[in-house]
Amino acid sequence: MIAWIKSHKLVLILLLVIIYLIFKQSSGVKPLSQPAMLSTGVGEESGAFKSAPSGNDLLPLRSSPPTTQTNRLVVQESNLSLVVKDVRDSVNKAIEYAKSNGGYMVSSSLSQPEEAPYAYVVLRIPAKDLKPAIEYFRSLAIKVSSENLLGTDVTDEYTDIAARLETLNRTKDKFQEIMNQATKVQDILEVQRELINLQDQIDSLKGRQEYLEKTAELAKISLSLSTDEFSLPYAPSSAFRPAVIFKQAVRSLVETLRWLAKMAIWLGVYGAIIVPIALLVWYFKKRRKTSTN
170 and 275 in a single domain? The answer is no
118 and 227 in a single domain? The answer is yes
**Domain of 250, in residue numbers:** 239-293
pLDDT band for position 207 (cuts 50, 70, 90): very high
Q: Decide if pLDDT at 22 tops 70.
A: no
Q: Write out pLDDT tens, residues 107-118.
A: 999 887 666 688
161 and 189 in a single domain? The answer is yes
246 and 289 in a single domain? The answer is yes
141 and 225 in a single domain? The answer is yes
pLDDT value for 34: 40
Q: Does any domain span residue 148? A: yes
Q: Write out pLDDT tens, residues 157-197.
A: 999 999 999 999 999 999 888 888 888 888 888 888 989 99
Q: Decide if pLDDT at 98 tops 90.
A: yes
pLDDT band for position 125 (cuts 50, 70, 90): very high
pLDDT value for 140: 92
Mean pLDDT estimate for the chain: 78
9 and 77 in a single domain? The answer is no
- Kindly report the CATH number assigned to the domain that includes residue 123: 3.30.70
pLDDT value for 271: 83
Q: Does any domain span residue 207? A: no
Q: Does any domain span residue 199? A: no
Q: What is the 3-state secondary structure (H, E, C) of 176-245?
A: HHHHHHCCCHHHHHHHHHHHHHHHHHHHHHHHHHHHHHHHHHEEEEEEEEECCHHHCCCCCCCCCCHHHH
Structural domains in the chain (count): 3
